[in-house]
Amino acid sequence: MKRKIVSIMTAALILTPTLTANLSTVNAAYQPYSVTSVSDTVKLAKYDDGLLIDHVVYFPKDMTTSNKKYPVVVWGNGTFGSWDYYEELLSQIAAGGYIVVGDIDSFCGSGLTESASVNFIINESKDRNSIFYNKVDVEHIGAGGHSQGGMSAVNASRLNSKIDCVFDVQGCQLKYEASKLKVPTFFITATEDVIVPSSWVKSSYDGCKAPAVYASVKDVTHFGPVDGNCASIFAEYAVKWFDAFLKNDQTAKSVFLNGGALSKDSRWVDYASKNF
């Protein structure tokens, strides 16, 4: 299967640093199509910050008929990954009431592409020809990512002041990079991850000076977020994290506090939090 092949390649290169975005040569028009029962997507390719990047934007089905504005989540892929590897996870986040911007960058660790995605969706919100015109809550934007994409989310938050919180899944960022974080960050690891071990992620948490949470999913490997059987546990807490910091939902925030639902969830171990 494609995912198994890519998983092997990812294991070899997951810690490869990068400063260069994966550029697309396709200048696609708007191409709306339905992917799942919980969200729609729009495939877009546009220049942003000098890069031509294919974006795939997930959004709630009611967005096109609603007068509401929706907070945003931008997403960074693992090494050799792309938006379609995270289709289930990103769809579920969108179903929670978010515009979710994915892309095709497979080497995004610098954060440049994910920061560009923030600027991309803000520009779309101003474009009268875009279905996202006046639909984007540009004051509430979060960044998430898996593996090298987790490092991307951390670094994108340093590059782009519009990012309000980070959801870092098995990120391979350096402790030094994490120490520069200024926004609430959830550091997630997995007990069976032998590619980015828990000790590496815990080091990032320890170095972080911003409000932070750390926890490890039990009996899950490095590829849990791309496994349809595991994606829901990541999506469940992603929605709660973004609800807490992008929707100012105090009930959602309480989930992450000491004694809250996360610390008592038997699917997770090694919970820690600080600076709340």
Provide the pLDDT for residue 22: 27
Residue-number span of the structural domain to which 171 is assigned: 2-274
How high is the pLDDT of residue 36? Answer: 37
Token pair listed for 25: 């040569």
pLDDT of the residue at 51: 60
Cα separation, 240 vs 255, whole angstroms:
8
Distance between terminal CA atoms of the chain? 43
Structural domains of the chain, count: 1
Q: DSSP of 14-78, one letter per residue?
A: TT----S----------EEEE-SSS-EEEEEEEEETTEEEEEEEEE-GGGGG----EEEEEEEPP
Q: Domain of 260: which CATH number?
A: 3.40.50.1820
Each residue of 31-66: pLDDT tens digit?
Answer: 232 333 345 666 666 655 666 667 888 888 888 888
pLDDT of the residue at 221: 95
Question: What's the pLDDT score for residue 44?
Answer: 64
d(CA 228, CA 86): 9
Q: Report the distance separating Cα 267 and Cα 263, nearest Å.
A: 10
pLDDT of the residue at 40: 60
Three-state SS string across 2-23, please?
HHHHHHHHHHHHCCCCCCCCCC
Q: Which residues of the chain have pLDDT under 70?
A: 1-53
What pLDDT score was predicted for residue 46?
Answer: 60
Of residues 106, 103, 79, 112, the one with CA closest to residue 11: 79
pLDDT at 9: 25
Model pLDDT, residue 167: 98
* Under 8 Å between Cβ of 235 and 228: no
The pLDDT, as a whole number, for residue 110 is 94
C-alpha 44/C-alpha 275 separation (Å) is 39
**Inter-residue contact 54 to 104 (CB < 8 Å):** yes
